[in-house]
Structure 1
Amino acid sequence: MSGECGSGENIAVSNKRCRNKKQTGKDVAVQGTNDSSIVSKCSMVNLGYFNDVFLKGFVNKTTRRAPLINRIILVLNIYVLTANENSPLKCNIAASYAFSFLQILSLGAGFDSLYFRLKASGELKNVVVYEVDFPNVVQRKATLIKNKQEFVELIGCIDEIRPTQMGRLYLSSMDYKLLGMDLTEIVELDHLLMQTGLNPACPTLILSEVVLTYMKGESSSAVIHWAADRFPSAIFVVYEQIRPDDPFGQVMQRHFTQLNSTLYALTQFPGKEAQRKRFLNEGWEECHCIDMNEFYVGFIPEQEKQRIELLEPFDEYEEWHLKCSHYLILSASKGFLTCLFLHPPPDFHFKKIDTLNPLRITVSLCETETENPLLRRFAHCSSHIAPNIILISGGFGSRDGQHGRLKDVSLMFKNGPVWKCSSFGDQGSIHLLTERMFHSMTALCDKRCIIFGGRTSPLKPVTSLLCLNCDMSDGAISSIGLSVKEIECSGDVPLPRWRHSATEVIYKGLKYLFIYGGRSPRELVLNDWHFLNLEDYSWADIPVNGPTPESRHSHSACSWKGGVLIAGGLGAARIPLASIFHLRPTWSGFIWDRIETVSSFIPRYSHTAHIIGDKLLLLGGVTIQSDSIPEVTLIDLKTGQSFDQCIDSNLVTWPLMLHNHSSVLVKERQVLVIGGGGNCFSFGTHLNHQPILLKLPEIR
């Protein structure tokens, strides 16, 4: 009988079957990424981002993707596949004019429509396109092509579209070869390509869009080495993930692991330099790589950027920049072909800044009753209204078991060593609380809190101004009362906005709310400011002189010396800023002073800031000018020296994202960080699980 014990041979066979079954499951999962990708590309085309009439022929049903996904797919297509003069495709086709022939070899091509788009535009003269993917994917693509008359007409005579005796050549014409082959079978792939007419002596462009990373290291390196060894003159263009270890990278890795599509190369070759050395070690003569932020800033014309901004409402800047910093474009070359298309224009200034030997700051989880869903949110506001009492309002987070925009006001208070949180409000006025994100909530000295601005969607700013009054007359936290009142302001009302700042200032003995910057539905970045008299709620005209700061939103603002200290933000060119300005009170109004720093610090936006003595503390944020994420920077406002510090988050068991968060200085050297996170591209929404307490070193 067949019992639990068997011969060694039977066990070996069984183990092999299990491994094969497991590998088949992974292959199917990887093939599924093709279907998702092609739907995303159709979404982009349908909204006018890119012109491609052929993609719809490979999709049964189109789905509108989020603006963030549309933008990412667009940039990739502009780089590799379009008329952009710096794209590898254009450079290679131009190079082919010096030769009699050119080849394009697309590895893991999926349902890409590259061949049909080039053929229709007349750009495939003396060019042959070879596409390789899993046999199942290729068989489906071949069937779709045969059933579309416009595809057949472009390929050529219908008689030329026929399976061959080789079995793995699914379509063949004079300039198009569709091959079904697992890329791990590199010897067989080489044999099949040679049989179908690939000429190693011809200049060749090899494309790999998120393909090699799904292969184990030795297999993907074998493909890279084979290409370098086989083609004397070629360019190898790769687009795939990098930076697996920071919080966004951890979420990205977890997403692909859950899809059973492990990113093998990401661990072994985590960054640009590791990838560059890899290709050089495998035989390529020259290799350059940049991340997608560098490409977008340096290679996309300003006119095209402006066109993109007008296509659909967009307000996911943090996720856009984070995603772009986690994908690279690599070009390796040898022979007559060079990588000049990855060299930025002469007027391109994009210096990367990295922290040097930063100090480490300990962080601990804030002790709460439970992982309260009220504290899991981003794009919200927090205000410290009294010792150990914090108000939290709005944002995006958990509500009734689902994610959505929030309108509640929650009270976070410390009861012994434990922080508690509850949502509350005056039932008679709670209807005044509306959903809003990226608003401001400013705690005034008299225990009032002013909520201004914000949005529900990028087309719908919130126009109401609310005053929250906290009644703490009996001193008991349990009996704190909250009332909400909508304020009707007089005077010239500023444009509705969000991602602005609102700070209390004093002028001639009167208190004002200073509103600065932000964005609106029509203006992507604002550079105006306004003063709201906090006694009669009138908009006042107060003279302001001095050099005007750059337009910005998502900056930080702190009260300092009777005025305001503005730091960082996202500028008009959609590039993070590192400038600091002080709105200083004078006898006749205010004046802008630029705070000069003698050492560079990482530009950032979507951060928070606090003043500790004469030191400015910048916490978190998003940048594109560094290969590391901003964590803690301390700037001496007297000397201009800056000091970077990194957070030791070993005690935090989940990815700690320090953007779209709020923070409160609870003691002189303790900062409570509440919420944070965001929509991580197509990898899912990540919300920091609970508040953390940041313990700063002694500040001198």
Structure 2
Amino acid sequence: MLPPNLPPRRESPSPSANPSSDSDDAIRLTDDDAASSRLSAAQVGYLQDPFASLLYKAPMSQPGGFGPQGGIRARKPPLINVGTHHRTWGIDLLVDRFLQSGGKQVVSLGAGSDTRFWRLMSRATPPDLVKYVEIDFPHLTSPKAQRITRHRKLYQYLDNSSDPSSMAPTMPPPGQHSYKVSKGGTQLSSPLYTLIPLDLRPSPYEPTSSISSILSDHVLPQLDPSLPTLFLAECLFPYMPPEDSKQIIKWFGETFGSCMGVVYEMVGLDDSFGNPNSSLSQVRKLSIPGSIFSTPESQAERFTSPILEGGKFDNAGAKTLWQIREEDVGPEELQRISKLEILDEIEELRLVLDHYVIAWGTKGETMSSISL
């Protein structure tokens, strides 16, 4: 459940740069952490996610046996499976409430191998989305674009012209597709979904470069500022300087009159639980400049801080995964997942879940009531 790293920007950030560099390996490893945890939770039965095995293939060096579809089945410990379930449950609740409140656009920052778009659009009644944008580094968007174009179960959802009363999307004629792959195979564009290869960090070699200009130049053209918009940042901000994550929140708050942000992060890195995880990050050569937001309260306050000026959000809140377990998951679901694996150490589970937080901020009248 370790968050992904944002290493220092390379001198040559070109998508064609050598993907085997130490920095790229560190990023790929952290995406492997998240994706393999989701795949494990789905395989054991914690999550209903038929897309996890399509969008993620574990490295051959990863321990584990071969799964039923030829991929490596790396089953995670029960603690991680439960944590992945609660993380998904909490974020899904917020996303659903955003959509039920008239939300039309979603931007997922550092999306990696995430499957949320396909889980949403494969519902019997899919949401009335106008645009879903995913952003990540080129060496992560490239394999994702390839997997999307290889699997009909993935690319069939890229067009928003499907009949919402139908259980299956409308398929284009044979040989024709509603998507376009560009930028050397690292970008995929379609009417409903766009995958963008993008480094959000300002380049030290471009004095005029800024996060707001990067977002305005590369992301805003995909969106309509007049529509309610959600941004997701799961395990992204901890490894960004606080000023950079502030600029991202501020940009969304300034650009969209009706907006919501959801972040998922680890907190309490300075206590007895957090220190070992911090040490592991050091072994992986991961710095954690965003660890100053060390409590749920500070995570929520980053949305409403006066330093955001015109980008300040109206309301904010935060819950630990333990609070989500106690207040939001529900007894029937807890009973269901309790039968999947033996988990005796409830106090240990609470210790782990108390160190992971989902925080959210809302702006605009239609978004004001959204909370957990």
- Give the TM-score taking structure 1 as reference length: 0.43
Q: Of 218, 222, 232, which aligns to 1:207?
A: 232
What one-letter code is carried by the residue in structure 2 that aligns with 1:51? Q
Aligned ranges for residues 394-413 of structure 1 at < 5 Å? none
Q: Are residues 214 and 145 of structure 1, via their aligned partners in 2, closer, same or farther at CA, if it must alter by over 3 Å?
A: same
Equivalent residue number for residue 214 of structure 2: 188
Query: Gapped runs of 5+ residues in structure 2?
Result: 1-9, 58-71, 160-171, 203-210
Tell me the equivalent position of 2:326: 297
Question: 1:264 Cα shift?
Answer: 1.7
Partner residue of 2:157 out of 144, 154, 163:
154
Partner of residue 74 from structure 2, selected from 63, 67, 80: 63
Amino acid at match of 1:71: V
Q: Does 1:45 align with 2:65?
A: no
SS in 1 for 2:316: strand
Q: Does 1:217 align with 2:242?
A: yes
What is the CA–CA distance in structure 1 between the aligned matches of 2:369 and 2:322, rounded to whole Å? Answer: 18
Question: What is the match of residue 106 of structure 1?
Answer: 108
CA distance in 2, matches of 1:338, 1:154: 27
Structure-to-structure mapping, 1:298-313, within 5 angstroms: 298-313=327-342
CA contact (8 A) 1:116 1:154 kept: yes
Q: Show the 5 A alignment for 1:321-336.
A: 321-336=350-365
How far is 1:168 from its partner? 9.0
The CA distance in 2 between the partners of 1:228 and 1:167, in whole Å, is 32
Mapped partners of 2:90, 2:214: distance in 1: 31
**Inter-partner Cα distance in structure 2 for 1:250 and 1:212:** 19
2:28 — aligned with what? 31
Query: Unaligned stretches of 5+ in structure 1?
Result: 1-15, 82-86, 344-700
Contact kept? 1:183, 1:223, Cα under 8 Å? no
Per-residue CA deviation, residues 288-344 of structure 1 (Å, 9 max, x unaligned), is 11211111111111111111111111123233111111111101111124464434x
| Aligned-partner Cα distance in 2 for 1:154–1:276 | 34
Q: In structure 1, how many angstroms separate the alpha carbons of the residues matched to 2:264 and 2:11?
A: 33
SS of the residue 1:155 aligns to: coil
CA distance in 1, matches of 2:359, 2:147: 31
Decide whether the 8 Å contact of 2:40 with 2:75 is kept in 1: yes
Q: Matches of 2:144 and 2:77 in 1, distance apart?
A: 26
Q: Return the letter of the residue paired with 1:44.
A: A
Residue 275 of structure 1 and its aligned partner are, at CA, apart by 2.4
Amino acid at match of 2:94: P
Counterpart Cα distance in 1 of 2:27 and 2:46: 26
Contact 1:288-1:339 within 8 A present in 2 as well: no
Measure how far apart 1:189 and its partner are.
2.7
AA partner of residue 214 (structure 2): E
Secondary structure class of the residue paired with 2:118 = helix
Aligned-residue offset at 1:262: 2.2
CA distance in 2, matches of 1:133, 1:148: 21
Matches within 5 A, 1:109-148: 109-121=111-123, 122-148=125-151
Work out the CA distance in 2 between the residues paired with 1:307 and 1:339: 33
User: What is the Cα deviation at residue 42 of structure 1?
Assistant: 0.9
Q: Closer, same or farther in 2 for the Cα pair 1:317/1:120, shift >3 Å?
A: same
SS of structure 2 residue aligned to 1:184: coil
Cα distance in 2 for partners of 1:329, 1:125 equals 25
Q: 1 or 2, which has the higher helix percentage?
A: 2
1:36-89 deviation digits (Å, cap 9, x = unpaired): 2111111111111111111110233221111111000001111123xxxxx111
Closer/same/farther in 2, CA of residues 28 and 43 from structure 1, 3 Å limit: same
Contact 2:139/2:186 (8 A) holds in 1: no
8 Å contact from structure 1 (residues 131, 177) kept in 2? yes
Please give the alpha-carbon distance, in whole angstroms, between the structure 2 residues aligned to 1:29 and 1:323: 23
The answer to whether the aligner puts 1:316 opposite 2:345 as a matched pair is: yes
Query: What amino acid sits opposite 1:307 in the alignment?
Result: R
Match in the other structure for 1:241: 266
Q: Deviations 1:495-554 (Å, cap 9, x if unpaired)?
A: xxxxxxxxxxxxxxxxxxxxxxxxxxxxxxxxxxxxxxxxxxxxxxxxxxxxxxxxxxxx
1:93 — aligned with what? 99
Letter in structure 2 aligned against 1:335: G
Contact 1:30 1:214 (C-alpha < 8 Å) held by counterparts: no
Q: Which residue identity does 1:52 align to in structure 2?
A: D
Q: What residue number does 1:263 align with?
A: 288
CA contact (8 A) 1:107 1:207 kept: yes
1:27, distance to aligned residue in structure 2 (A): 5.0
State the secondary structure of the residue aligned to 2:33: helix
Contact 1:234–1:337 under 8 Å retained in 2: no
Equivalent positions of 1:606-617 (< 5 A) are: none
Instruction: Give 1 or 2: higher strand fraction.
Output: 1
Mapping of 1:409-448 within 5 angstroms?
none
Percentage of matched positions with identical amino acids: 27
Q: 1:72 aligns with which of 66, 83, 86?
A: 83
The equivalent residue for 2:167 is: none
Amino acid at match of 1:134: F
CA contact (8 A) 1:169 1:177 kept: no
How far, CA to CA, are the matches of 2:227 and 2:154 in structure 1? 27
Structure 1 distance, partners of 2:350, 2:276, is: 15
Structure whose CA Rg is larger: 1
CA, structure 1 residues 26+89, in 2 after alignment: closer, same or farther (shift >3 Å)?
Answer: same
- Alignment partner, residue 205 of structure 2: none
Match of 2:196 in 1: 179
- AA aligned to 1:279 is F
